[in-house]
Structure 1
């Protein structure tokens, strides 16, 4: 099937010996989604802009951002304040990216394998503290990520700027800020990869012009992945603690998960299991997540995709009502 349009089109502008390139790509989906209560339709279209160039001295630079059919105006505003899109420059010194890159821990370890057409609440994702909308309060803080690779090893370091609202605290007298840091090391050789990371997140509240540390959280993340031909296996482990001013809701926690993938001709099956355990002074909160899904390649960038995701929540001896999601449809890449 002949590909049309912009996915295979590059716009090249030459200036002296250096060239800048703008590439367009896209993805879309359509299908049905079960949200735990009822079935409904789901659809989305996205356009990805990737820009790159090179200086006369050999430095490479670029930027990328994505436009959704949902909330495009809001996304444009957030892009202007540094919380959407990523800009980078790279050379012998490594790579420096700013905007909305993954944090160092996520860059080194990553998430468990995703299932479903829509991600199904993304139960496969690790609870990182830094980068890409992470942090104690889930703020979309502008982030900087530095990475350097030497041989089989890669080093990562990231930090946020400590301000919510895309780098702009709307009311400096009362608003919170979340300062996040992360360092990580990854080793990759052939079909094997291991990553270890440390993360720290701190929320500061301002009252009467006085800043107070209200919430701190620190964690270690360990992950490993192996590929055996058409089969993949990935495991993660997280250990951390959260300390809230006054001692309320202070707890230690663990998170662990395992996922696998297998490809049989045109069909790829993925599955995962993940659990988080928060040890409060008087009780334990456990969240158990499961998912399984499959993708059938139709060719030409189209695939049939479906999956089921499930969560059990247990607090002490009480088992809360479980959540179950499901979806099925067609995914497209352009």
Structure 2
């Protein structure tokens, strides 16, 4: 659990408004990361240039959350992450990430920003169900991982509504198509030779994306169970593929711009209250334009005893994309809690992508280091 990094600060905005709280929390990591063979679109430490690379890695994230309440009891707030560059060999380059603002009341919560869509909010991914984590993200970078459903297909600015009633949770979200194509035209005057340049902006006609999802939590036979079911729609504005397939496939093998995609997803998670946890995911991606469906399956198990935690997960995309076969991957993680918010963590992943053009693109990743939560 993260601890407050600095003391909470009360800010009085003006008369008629309740005090607002600003809190800070953070995490940092240091260690080594590495990987093998060349994979298109995958960052350098996983081996874009060499068959085997090992690099030092350190980064941090500082999370700032501001919240307040009106005189009538309406809550509001903002959250943002200050993070270093994700690449191991890049020092500095601090950037803002996951910016979001919200307003909340008896009606529910409305959030706008770089956030999860409704499906990703209500469904529990395998790595979260079993508590996997490594400094190289080995559990989420392999070819069998699906982590965002249809989020980010537009500008990653998502509006989401959440409401909880009893053991049920409901979310609805929308991501607007605001992508504009820029056209520059240069015309030379035949008499003077003067060139006049005009620039025009035209919005593409892709439909907006939206999502609906429902979750349910219950106790059964001494186990805490979680169920999630969701639907999402998007229309691609450029070459697109589900989950981590987008990192491994060439653009020519992805679904083309203007493809409408229906996504249906379901998850089950379980905490058996004896150290064991488990998770299962199923997702169907149904594109139009004559493309074939893609089915995704994932399963994972975790076990914790005293300060030691272990995790294993496997994911697979079943595809009928011409020239491309199935893609799958698995990951192992281990963590030892040192106390005080620090842990030693290790991770390993292995991936396999079938297809004539991809048979040599199997790869592995590994990492070892220390995670510190503040």
TM bracket, shorter-chain basis: 0.7 to 0.9
1:318/1:23 CA distance change after superposition, 3 Å = closer
Contact kept, 8 Å, 1:178 with 1:204, in 2: the verdict is no
* Paired position in structure 1 for 2:368: 328
Is 2:75 aligned against 1:60?
Answer: yes
Distance 1:125 1:110, change over 3 A: farther
Q: For 1:85-119, what per-residue CA distance to the aligned partner results, in whole angstroms no more than 9, with x for missing partners?
A: 01111111111000111011111113221342221
Give the secondary structure class of the aligned counterpart of 1:86: strand
Deviation at 1:45, TM superposition (A): 1.5
- The whole-number CA distance in structure 2 between the counterparts of 1:68 and 1:98 is 20
Largest Rg, 1 or 2: 2
Aligned residues: 305
Structure 1: which 4+ aligned runs deviate by more than 4 Å?
71-74, 168-171, 174-178
Q: Secondary structure of 2:73's match?
A: coil
Residue aligning to 1:208: none
Mapped to 2, the partners of 1:97 and 1:318 lie a distance apart of 40
- In the alignment, which residue of structure 2 is the partner of 1:200? 233
2:163 to 114, 137, 148: 148
Q: Secondary structure at the match of 2:5?
A: helix
Equivalent residue, structure 2, for 1:50: 65
Q: Which has the higher strand share?
A: 1
Q: 2:9 aligns with which of 8, 11, 16?
A: 11
Q: Cα gap change, 1:126/1:178 in structure 2, threshold over 3 Å: closer, same or farther?
A: farther
Secondary structure at the residue paired with 2:316? strand
What is the rounded CA distance, in whole Å, between the counterparts of 1:233 and 1:109 in structure 2? Answer: 14
Tell me how far apart the structure 1 counterparts of residues 64 and 112 of structure 2 sit (CA, whole Å): 16
Task: Name the structure 2 match of 1:41.
Answer: 56
- Pick from 218, 224, 227 the counterpart of residue 271 of structure 2: 227
Post-superposition Cα deviations, 1:270-323, rounded to whole Å, max 9, x if no partner, equal 11000011123x565211110001111111111101110111111279844311
User: Counterpart of 1:56 in 2: which secondary structure?
Assistant: coil
Between 314-323 and 112-121, the greater mean CA deviation after superposition: 314-323
Assess, with a 3 A threshold, how the Cα gap between structure 1 residues 59 and 73 changes in structure 2: closer, same or farther.
farther
Identify the range of structure 1 (196-205 vs 142-151) with the bigger mean alpha-carbon deviation: 196-205
- Following superposition, the deviation at residue 243 of structure 1 comes to 2.7
Structure 2 CA distance for partners of 1:169 and 1:58, relative to 1, 3 Å: farther
- Residues 326 and 258 (structure 1), Cα distance of their counterparts in 2 relative to 1, 3 Å cut: same
How far 1:262 sits from its partner (Å)? 1.0
Distance 1:237 1:315 in 2: 23
Matched, 1:279 2:293: no
Per-residue CA deviations over 1:106-164 (Å, capped at 9, x if unaligned) read: 11113221342221253374253433x3x2xxx44311011111111111111102124
Between 266-275 and 114-123, the greater mean CA deviation after superposition: 114-123
Q: 2: CA distance between counterparts of 1:117 and 1:70?
A: 13
Q: Is the contact between residue 34 and residue 40 of structure 1 (CA under 8 Å) also seen in structure 2?
A: yes
Partners in 2 of 1:33 and 1:181 — Cα distance? 37
Q: Give 1:51 shift.
A: 0.9
CA deviation map 1:16-54 (0-9, x unaligned): 572210001111111001122211111101111011111
Please, which runs of 5 or more residues in structure 1 have no aligned partner? 206-211
Q: 2:345 — aligned with what?
A: 305
Contact 2:269 2:280 in 1 (8 A): yes
Verify the 8 A CA contact 2:293 2:319 in the aligned structure 1.
yes
Distance 1:316 1:293 in 2: 31
Q: Distance in 2 between matches of 1:302 and 1:215?
A: 45
Partners of 1:265 and 1:60 lie apart in 2 by 39
Query: 2:306 aligned with 1:265, yes or no?
Result: yes
Gaps of 5+ in 2: 37-51, 87-91, 184-200, 239-255
